[in-house]
Amino acid sequence: MTSHLKHGLYLVLCTLLFWGCTTESQDGLPAHVAAIDSLIILSNEERAVPAADLQPVATFQDSLFLNEISSVIADPTGAVYIAGESWKRTKIFKFQPDGTLTDSLGEYGTGFGEFQQISRLQFRRDDLYIFDGELNRVTIYDTINNEFTDTLGIWHQPDLIPVDWTGADSKPVALLGESSFLISLHKQRDPAYDPIGAVRYFRADSMGNSDWKPLYEMPDFRYIVGDYAGRPAPFTIPFPERPIAEVSAGDRIYSAYSEEFLIRVRDADGRELHSYYYPKAREPLDPDEEIHPLYSHNDQLLRVRESAQFPDEWPAIYSIIADDDNRIWISVITGDRNQLEWWVVDDRNGELIATFTWPFDKPVVHVQNGLIYTVEQDDMGFKIVNAYRLDLADEHRVQSAY
């Protein structure tokens, strides 16, 4: 495996930067990729990249009967916090590192210390920040004194938003620095007529104040549109084209649009540091495989999907996770719909240090303290969390599927 750093700004710019431009530069790179300064091109061709095995360490379950698990994180002592939903009631559960359940935090609702849809858990020292994507707010829990201390409403200021973004929907994404947040602003749209849309990312303080100059912008979640009785009907597919935003413990922002393996790295003020690119050959998408096995029982849903124009290919990547050791974990979509291939990149030197395949239905959701946390199902179909340790096997050579 090698990676090399590409310097210099190319003159050929693609005006459709993220919107599927395929024009190539003289060195064979897509023009919008070649135009990026400090570009790290990943490769696993010149020497072996260690294969990796995941060794089980602990299970976090305790008969909670959770239907969904949306976020997992560990505190400085190794205690694990899991945001789970049971019978549409959201709560946070605290476990010891060995899997022993010790406490639960909060309740379902809209009041102080209550949640509706937890999208992210994040620590800043001993304070647990709980992101509620439904209520668009962040609740702070003091893990030393075991009490909720504050609720922050994260919103935008309409008078500072461009006219064509009036009515845009803001969402808190992650902590950024000591007292600010990365927030996303999704342009208002009807996906039946605007299936892609646009999203901008900003830095705001704890009161939602910002200069509203975007750190960056990219396309929003892409819907597929079919026809229902003469009207457009949007729907989604298992691996959609979508924006991905992740923030590391060191306040680096990792952004990508899933259609290609291109990850931009910025500091907390939005300044670009470097980017990662891999010329991933995207897997072909067969619409028949997405339509008839799943929807032949429902004539209405079947007709909508049969009338739709599907993309020719699946996206290149599915998700990005930043761990607490300056590494990024990138899940790559493969030819096997049931498997993702994970690439582990050391962001200190741009080296690809490991790859491994892992089932799609057992998603990796968090990496911390040398442990990989996955969401899986027990024998009754309820969600649980398993922790694994990554075991690098240097003697194994990665067999690239690309």
Residue 91 has pLDDT above 50, yes or no: yes
- In 10 A of CB 341, how many CB atoms? 20
Mean pLDDT lowest among 53-67, 216-230, 271-285, 325-339: 53-67
Phi and psi angles of residue 309, each rounded to the nearest 5 degrees, phi first: -95, 105
Query: Under DSSP, is residue 356 helix (H, G, I), strand (E, B) or coil?
Result: strand
Q: According to the model, what pLDDT value does residue 82 have?
A: 97
Residue 139 has pLDDT above 50, yes or no: yes
Gyration radius (Cα) of the chain, Å: 22
| pLDDT 10s digits, 290-347 | 887 788 888 999 999 999 999 999 999 999 999 999 999 999 999 998 999 999 999 9
Strand partners for 294: none
Q: According to the model, what pLDDT value does residue 1 have?
A: 43
Residue 213 has pLDDT above 70, yes or no: yes
Of all helices (H) and strands (E), which one includes residue 303? helix 299-306
> Looking at residues 171-192, what average pLDDT do you find?
91
Structure tokens of 178?
């000591």
| pLDDT 10s digits, 225-246 | 999 999 999 999 999 999 999 9
Query: Under DSSP, is residue 178 helix (H, G, I), strand (E, B) or coil?
Result: coil
CA gap 106, 112 in Å, rounded: 9
Per-residue pLDDT band at 204 (split at 50, 70, 90): confident
Structure tokens of 66?
């959770």
| pLDDT 10s digits, 372-381 | 999 999 999 9
Phi and psi angles of residue 292, each rounded to the nearest 5 degrees, phi first: -70, -40
Quote the strand ranges of 236-377, DSSP E: 243-247, 253-257, 262-266, 272-277, 317-322, 327-333, 339-346, 351-359, 364-368, 371-377
> How far, in whole angstroms, is CA 261 from its chain's centroid?
13
Q: According to the model, what pLDDT value does residue 211 have?
A: 77
Those residues whose C-beta lies under 8 Å from the C-beta of residue 229, and which sit 6 or more positions away, are none
**Nearest Cα to Cα of residue 79 among 123, 22, 47:** 123
Tokens 């920040």 found at: 129
Q: According to the model, what pLDDT value does residue 18 have?
A: 34
Q: According to the model, what pLDDT value does residue 155 have?
A: 64
Cα separations (Å) of 118 from 99, 139, 225, 324?
21, 10, 29, 21
Q: Residues 76, 69: contact at Cβ < 8 Å?
A: no
CA gap 278, 343 in Å, rounded: 11
| pLDDT 10s digits, 2-44 | 444 443 323 222 322 333 344 555 468 999 999 999 999 998 6
> Looking at residues 97-112, what average pLDDT do you find?
93
